[in-house]
Amino acid sequence: MKMLNHKGTVTLQTERLLLRPFSTADAQAMYDNWATDPEVTKFLTWERHRSVQDTLAFLSSLDYNKPDVYQWAIVYQGVVIGSISITEIDENARIGAFGYCIGRSFWRQGIMSEAVQALLPFLFDEVGFHRVEIDHAEKNPTSGAVAKKCGFTYEGKSRAKFYRHGEYLDICHWAMLSEDRVVR
């Protein structure tokens, strides 16, 4: 059986973006640009940060010495404006799930779609994922728009799968298989 060839968080460049590992020097930008914004964090699995120390603690916890850590800072015009990661890795099935967020002032500019599309060749061709997934709250359709724009297939919805801020949320599931990918 083919195994994943973990390479860790490598630096990648697109036309507009630099995707790179975070450093603790990014704490203030992360705190200011998205980690404290209740609109950005409304549907995420983590609570918004209450102080820059929360952000610093998160960044300090990232162990980039582990080759199976995939957590990128999204840098746009020299500023860290968001994050994108691969989580919930299933080694045997070669499956990983995207997690991403971006500062509200950068929404609807195609930045997240550009970041996802930049990572797909790396994840499929170099690391060897068979399947990558995007799950999002149905009440967050913009995340689904990213999946659709990037060529993911909508696979359905899990009702009341996620409890957040006093309500159960339906979760939409999208996926791309290695053989589905259209090389752009």
pLDDT number for residue 20:
98
| Own/partner pairs, 32-37, CB within 8 angstroms, 24+ separation | 33/79, 33/80, 33/81, 33/82, 33/103, 33/105, 34/81, 34/82, 34/83, 34/101, 34/102, 34/103, 34/104, 37/103, 37/104
Domain that holds residue 79: 12-129
Distance CA 148, CA 113 (A): 9
Domain presence at residue 85: yes
Domain presence at residue 161: no
Domain presence at residue 39: yes
- Cβ atoms of residues 19 and 118 within 8 Å: yes
Domain presence at residue 47: yes
Q: Identify the residue with better confidence: 182 or 94.
A: 94
- Which residues neighbour 10 within 8 Å (Cβ) at sequence distance 6 or greater? 122
Indicate the pLDDT class of residue 182, thresholds 50, 70 and 90: low
Burial class (CB in 10 A: 0-12, 13-18, 19+), 105: exposed
Domain presence at residue 142: no
pLDDT digits (tens, 9 = 90+) for 106-157: 999 999 999 999 999 999 999 999 999 999 999 999 999 999 999 999 999 9
3-state secondary structure (DSSP) of residue 34: helix
Number of domains in the chain: 1
State the average pLDDT over residues 174-180.
95
pLDDT number for residue 31:
96
Domain presence at residue 157: no
Domain presence at residue 25: yes
* CATH number of the domain within which 30 lies: 3.40.630.30
pLDDT digits (tens, 9 = 90+) for 23-67: 999 999 999 999 999 888 888 888 889 999 999 999 999 999 999
- Cβ atoms of residues 171 and 162 within 8 Å: yes
pTM (two decimals): 0.93
Domain presence at residue 125: yes
